Chains A and B, each alone.
Chain A
Amino acid sequence: MRKLTGLWRGPVFWARIVQTALLCVVTVVMLGANKSPFERIGHQLICTCGCGQILLECNHVGCTYSTQEIAELHAQLDAGASETAIQHFFVAKYGPTVLSAPLRGGFDNAAWIVPMVVFLLATIGTFAVVWMWKRRALRLAGGIGNVVAIAEPSIPQDAALRDRIRRETEY
């Protein structure tokens, strides 16, 4: 049985994988930036009546809060205000909790950056740990060949080894 060698274990290969994954994440996160301003901003705000729902999804009939907020959003858009200006308007009027997610910049950015950084560090860390363990295992076994010998029982008579492998590989 052939083992994974060369390219599969090379740091360049994994670095490329990580780069590609990063590019995909950034691309995906950037997607969806072309919603209509009303839809986009309406989904960045919540109804302030206490229901905690997204402004454009609030289903309380007679909810004066959402009706008023939607009217204000229309008025701001009609006046040609920018997205940031509209956000500032709502934050100034209703407080920062009117935004459905931390969008004000500054410390709010930490809400978005930290999970991504943790995810990336965890991914890289896991790769590093696996890599380190694998190297150590190879060193202890005295080379790749010995590992292959364990993975593929070449001595069928060795019942103890086979029993161990069976025990270790049963799902």
Chain B
Amino acid sequence: MISHPMPEFGSFCLLLALILTAYNLAVGGLALWGGSPSGLRITRRPEAVWNRLGETARRAGIASFVALCGAAFALVYAAFTNDFSVEYIRAHSNIALNPAYKFAALWSGQEGSLLLWAFLLSAYGLVLRMRHRVDVRLTAFASVIMAGIQVFFLLLLTVGAPPFSIAPGPVAADGAGLNPLLQYPEMVMHPPLLYLGYVGFSVPFAFALGALMMRYPGEKWIHITRRWTMVTWLFLTIGIFMGAHWAYSVLGWGGYWGWDPVENASLMPWLTGTAFLHSVMMQEKRGMMKNWNVWLIFSTFMLTILGTLLTRSGAVSSVHAFAQSNIGAWFYIFITIVFAVCLFTFFFQRDHLKSENKLESLVSRESSFLFNNMILLAACFTVLWGTLFPVLSEYVQGSKVTVGAPFYNRVNIPIGLFLLFLTGIGPLLAWRSTSLRSIRRNFILPSIAMAVTFAGLVISGLRPWNDGDDMQSTFFSLIAFTLAAGVITAITEEFLRGANVVRTQTGKNLLASIVLLIRRNTRRYGGYIIHFGIVVMFIGIAGGAFNQAREMEMSAGSTIDIGPYHLISTGMTQDSKPEYDTSYLVLNVYRGGKYVTTLSPEKRVYFAGTDHEQPSTIVALHSTAQSDLYTVFEGTNPDSGLPIIKAFLNPLIAWIWIGVVIVVIGTFIALAPNLVRTAVRQRQEDQVPVGASPLGVPGVLAKVPHA
């Protein structure tokens, strides 16, 4: 009998992790029940016994992380040592594969990505269990709930989709290789980041469910989970946009978002997670929206599972076909159990979720949060509806339909513009109630900025009524640019107003005052920076209305003119690499008669380790803040033998990626702790007359009603 030590070690680790996690779930749950007022009284000191038992469960949870590290190591080791006796490695790697992509083999297929999910979940669980002193009992509840989720994934890995299955027959000399589309640097980062986002929502979910189960008094659980939620949201944001950038750079169709069901699956929890991050502030500050928040985080977690279900089950058609399999039934059962647990817990504990305050005015920060939530959920529903409509159509009409980009663009763009509008006005409204004077003062500059931008754009030629075929997209762009100008002005005004007060108090210059302002209230001003990043992204997206494309056969010396660019072909070159053959065209790019750059769009045909040739496109692009010149070598005309080049001019695309960077910076700022004022300065500031400071000292409302 042939021995496979490393795969066997991996399988053993998975089994061990399952046993440890099941212990965490069962014994941890028992300890929580036993330690509750209605629990068993088995000794004179029941609390000490249950606490000790709970501690063993916590340690089992920590140990499960070690076991999963072993399993992940075994799979990566198998990839690096070309152990093609493991079916998963045979199917997703080959000898000549670049080592970075061999590491990426961990998440390039079904079983490996499920192992990554379980590993990340155990890593989050490790941090949660190590930090249990923050609130021992609440953490114990969250730990048990996390263990419940973990048990599902480990069962799946040991029974439904084992990653260490041995390939039947003799060991293959080489593997089938990694999908060429995935052999791109961003693909080493995109899936783990996305998974960090997906999996991370388990933590606020576990805390919310735990807090509800134990009828946790107060809103401390929100403080505990705030950073978890923000970090998770950040990972998901980066993961989504890294995927969009990968699609833009690799797939070669000139766009970055195709509304594929798998893309939609990542967008839906992002939308509800964003709604949760906003509405949870109402609970934190005013004890409102408790029912809503609980269901928002429940929905966000369930949507991450639904996304995985859609990705894996093949219920809906997707270009991400590499991820489809027959483990959908597992996810259907799991999501049903999760929903049932959430529903029952909510039903039995709903009296614990009574609001402490009620909304007092239509024109208030609370109202704007409500509408923000409504818009985000409407967008989420639209995406979910469009994703599931083919299934519904098949059920009702007997035939599937395609729900593609035209549907999503038409329905979601107006919703997105409404959201952009709220991004601008929300922070300008005060909590509780906003006065007319405050509205006048806060809205006048943004309104002027919008009017000037609108007029300026129309005068400079952005006139939808003249654009014939492109009237609708030009109209939406005009509105988006106009709203963006208003929001940016509002945010700038907020910074300047606060900085001026700091400058008056401290005598520092404007820049130093802005820095101090941000450091004193990182959450508020980090939030503004995130909003600014979102607006910059909207500007980039709105630029899509002015995309241009040209396609032609190019012999040496032939030219294409697109926008301000003049492209001259110097001919086609071919090369051969260990993994692929490549053909590329060399294009010299000129602008206004001056040489700008050389672009080499490529067409590769991968053959190493594969049973059949796999073509792949390598886009060549020249990116500036104004526009991207994006060229694709589409292949050669079989009749003429000439290469065919498609050139796109995509205005403002870079703004999307810049916007993401700003969002990331803003999130880091929002996560940073506030600058702690010294006792002396605190006293000095407290002596400032009532209403003079916007920085959290008394009188804040009187002067800065939008605080």
A residues engaging B (CB < 8 A)? 1-4, 8-9, 14, 25, 28-29, 31-32, 34-36, 39, 43-44, 46, 51-54, 57, 59-62, 95-102, 104, 106-108, 110-112, 114-116, 118-119, 122-123, 125-127, 129-131, 133-134, 136-138, 140, 147-148, 150-153, 156, 162, 165-171
- Are A62 and B635 closer than 8 Å at their CB atoms? yes
- Are A51 and B698 closer than 8 Å at their CB atoms? no
- Are A52 and B435 closer than 8 Å at their CB atoms? no
Contacts of A171 in B (CB 8 A): 281, 427, 521, 523-524, 527, 707
- Are A108 and B319 closer than 8 Å at their CB atoms? no
- Are A101 and B406 closer than 8 Å at their CB atoms? yes
Interface size (B, Cβ < 8 Å)? Answer: 83
Q: Which of B378, B411, B690, B696 contacts A156 (CB 8 A)?
A: B690
* Given known contacts A59-B646, A137-B358, A162-B698, A52 and B401 CB-to-CB distance under 8 angstroms: no
Nearest-neighbour CB distance to chain A for B318, whole angstroms, equals: 8
B433 CB within 8 Å of chain A: yes
- Are B434 and A130 closer than 8 Å at their CB atoms? no
> How far apart are the CA atoms of A168 and B357 in the complex, in Å?
11
Q: Could you give 13 example pairs across A and B, Cβ below 8 Å? A: A1-B438, A4-B362, A31-B475, A43-B406, A59-B254, A101-B407, A102-B407, A125-B374, A151-B432, A151-B701, A165-B700, A166-B696, A171-B524
Q: Which of A101, A107, A151 contacts B404 (CB 8 A)?
A: A101
Contacts of A134 in B (CB 8 A): 358-362
- Are A34 and B468 closer than 8 Å at their CB atoms? yes
B662 CB within 8 Å of chain A: no
Nearest-neighbour CB distance to chain B for A68, whole angstroms, equals: 15
Nearest-neighbour CB distance to chain A for B314, whole angstroms, equals: 14
- Are B386 and A97 closer than 8 Å at their CB atoms? no
- Are A170 and B362 closer than 8 Å at their CB atoms? no
* Given known contacts A107-B396, A114-B385, A119-B415, A4 and B406 CB-to-CB distance under 8 angstroms: no
> How far apart are the CA atoms of A108 and B394 in the complex, in Å?
11
> How far apart are the CA atoms of A166 and B386 in the complex, in Å?
43
- Are A140 and B358 closer than 8 Å at their CB atoms? yes
Closest 4 CB pairs of A and B: A32-B472, A61-B635, A171-B524, A61-B634
B416 CB within 8 Å of chain A: no
Scoring A1, A116, A150 by chain B CB atoms within 10 A of each residue's CB, the highest score goes to A1
Contacts of B255 in A (CB 8 A): 57
Nearest-neighbour CB distance to chain B for A165, whole angstroms, equals: 6
Nearest-neighbour CB distance to chain A for B322, whole angstroms, equals: 13
* Given known contacts A3-B433, A171-B707, A99 and B402 CB-to-CB distance under 8 angstroms: yes
Scoring A52, A62, A100, A165 by chain B CB atoms within 10 A of each residue's CB, the highest score goes to A52
- Are A35 and B469 closer than 8 Å at their CB atoms? yes
> How far apart are the CA atoms of A133 and B424 in the complex, in Å?
24
* Given known contacts A28-B475, A61-B637, A3 and B435 CB-to-CB distance under 8 angstroms: yes
Q: Which of A8, A122, A133 contacts B358 (CB 8 A)?
A: A133
Contacts of B405 in A (CB 8 A): 54, 100
> How far apart are the CA atoms of A29 and B415 in the complex, in Å?
12
> How far apart are the CA atoms of A110 and B430 in the complex, in Å?
39
Q: Which residue of A lies closest to B258 (CB)?
A: A52
B482 CB within 8 Å of chain A: no
B354 CB within 8 Å of chain A: no
> How far apart are the CA atoms of A112 and B252 in the complex, in Å?
30
- Are B701 and A165 closer than 8 Å at their CB atoms? yes
- Are A28 and B414 closer than 8 Å at their CB atoms? yes
Nearest-neighbour CB distance to chain B for A111, whole angstroms, equals: 5
- Are B401 and A39 closer than 8 Å at their CB atoms? no
Q: Which of B361, B427, B437, B698 contacts A2 (CB 8 A)?
A: B437
- Are B471 and A32 closer than 8 Å at their CB atoms? yes
Q: Which of A4, A43, A115, A137 contacts B378 (CB 8 A)?
A: A115
0/1 interface trace, chain B 407-420, chain A, CB 8 Å (1 if under): 10011001100000
Contacts of B414 in A (CB 8 A): 25, 28-29
- Are A152 and B702 closer than 8 Å at their CB atoms? yes
Contacts of B410 in A (CB 8 A): 29, 101
- Are A97 and B402 closer than 8 Å at their CB atoms? yes
- Residues of B467-509 whose CB lies within 8 A of A: 468-473, 475-476
Tally A-B pairs: CB < 8 A.
Answer: 219
Nearest-neighbour CB distance to chain A for B386, whole angstroms, equals: 7
Contacts of B698 in A (CB 8 A): 156, 162, 166
* Given known contacts A61-B644, A168-B432, A111 and B286 CB-to-CB distance under 8 angstroms: no
Contacts of A165 in B (CB 8 A): 700-701
B371 CB within 8 Å of chain A: yes
- Are A147 and B285 closer than 8 Å at their CB atoms? no
- Are A100 and B430 closer than 8 Å at their CB atoms? no
- Are B401 and A96 closer than 8 Å at their CB atoms? yes
Q: Which residue of A lies closest to B526 (CB)?
A: A171
Q: Which of A39, A54, A116 contacts B469 (CB 8 A)?
A: A39
- Are A59 and B252 closer than 8 Å at their CB atoms? yes
Nearest-neighbour CB distance to chain A for B23, whole angstroms, equals: 42
0/1 interface trace, chain B 371-409, chain A, CB 8 Å (1 if under): 100100110011001100100010011011111111100
B571 CB within 8 Å of chain A: no
- Are A137 and B360 closer than 8 Å at their CB atoms? yes
B641 CB within 8 Å of chain A: no
Contacts of B523 in A (CB 8 A): 171
Contacts of A123 in B (CB 8 A): 371, 374
Contacts of A32 in B (CB 8 A): 469-473
Nearest-neighbour CB distance to chain B for A25, whole angstroms, equals: 6
> How far apart are the CA atoms of A134 and B361 in the complex, in Å?
6
Nearest-neighbour CB distance to chain A for B324, whole angstroms, equals: 13
- Are A168 and B285 closer than 8 Å at their CB atoms? yes
- Are B370 and A130 closer than 8 Å at their CB atoms? yes
* Given known contacts A133-B358, A170-B707, A126 and B404 CB-to-CB distance under 8 angstroms: no
> How far apart are the CA atoms of A62 and B471 in the complex, in Å?
32
- Are B701 and A169 closer than 8 Å at their CB atoms? yes
Contacts of A137 in B (CB 8 A): 358-360
Scoring A39, A54, A98 by chain B CB atoms within 10 A of each residue's CB, the highest score goes to A54
> How far apart are the CA atoms of A32 and B475 in the complex, in Å?
9
Nearest-neighbour CB distance to chain B for A120, whole angstroms, equals: 9
> How far apart are the CA atoms of A1 and B698 in the complex, in Å?
18
Q: Which residue of B lies closest to A39 (CB)?
A: B469
Nearest-neighbour CB distance to chain B for A149, whole angstroms, equals: 11
* Given known contacts A101-B407, A153-B701, A168 and B431 CB-to-CB distance under 8 angstroms: yes
> How far apart are the CA atoms of A97 and B400 in the complex, in Å?
6
B363 CB within 8 Å of chain A: yes
- Are A152 and B521 closer than 8 Å at their CB atoms? no
Contacts of B471 in A (CB 8 A): 31-32, 34
Nearest-neighbour CB distance to chain B for A35, whole angstroms, equals: 4
